[in-house]
Structure 1
């Protein structure tokens, strides 16, 4: 099994900065609640540009990442451990660049897979669906 990054892309009809804001500050509005620790109580996602990323469930927060790069001009990176051990984080790296013909190309890579993480990596099959939800939100 491959340890290569999982790659997904989509073009959205907004500027790179608007695409960045839609991906980060508005993540809780397009994220699929079924991909959260407690889907029935999911109310959003909180992202601190200098710290944690967490699913919000009423008064509870479940931290599943940490921002490592926050550049509203076109780049977002975080440590990611939703669905696997915090001690072995992966990396979510998303760039926002001008697309040919207008809009913004959103390029997502979920990488940093360690030896022995094949089974966990195989469960991450939702990035394309999530990017479609995101695109619908920002369009």
Structure 2
């Protein structure tokens, strides 16, 4: 973990009024339903997101898929982790770690986007809106 503020992990949280399992399914299997199409390789043709629990994560655009991640951990009881390279080269992948824990009124969903390397400050700046994405996610699962 970096101590440089420009490379620190990006953290966002939201509480959703559903069980941890429903929150996990909403975040993973239904990601394409709440993801902002503007954050895809070709917004006008975006039709969803494909996640293989044992492999790639990709934006779906009609018959085309653009891989931008790989699942590292798939635990429907409360933990999802993937390599993440949307908008930057796969060999410079970062890590998206999402935890789902019981909370008053539902489930706390905590996203930690880490693994930023020296020189990735400009790319990192594009990913500081996880809170906005979590708002879309929360509206979807609520």
Cross-structure match for 2:115:
112
Matched, 1:127 2:130: yes
CA distance in 2, matches of 1:23, 1:123: 20
Cα offset, 1:126, TM superposition: 1.9
2:84 to 66, 69, 80: 80
Please give the alpha-carbon distance, in whole angstroms, between the structure 2 residues aligned to 1:81 and 1:126.
Answer: 16
Stretches of structure 2 that go unaligned for 5 or more consecutive residues are none
Distance 1:20 1:123 in 2: 25
Aligned length: 138
Runs of 4+ aligned residues of structure 1 deviating over 4 Å after TM superposition are none
TM-score, normalization: structure 2?
A: 0.95
- Note the residue ranges of structure 1 that are not aligned, 5 or more in a row: none
The alignment's C-alpha RMSD in Å is 0.7
Q: How does 1:3-82 map to 2 (within 5 A)?
A: 3-82=7-86
Scaled by the length of structure 1, the TM-score of the pair is 0.97
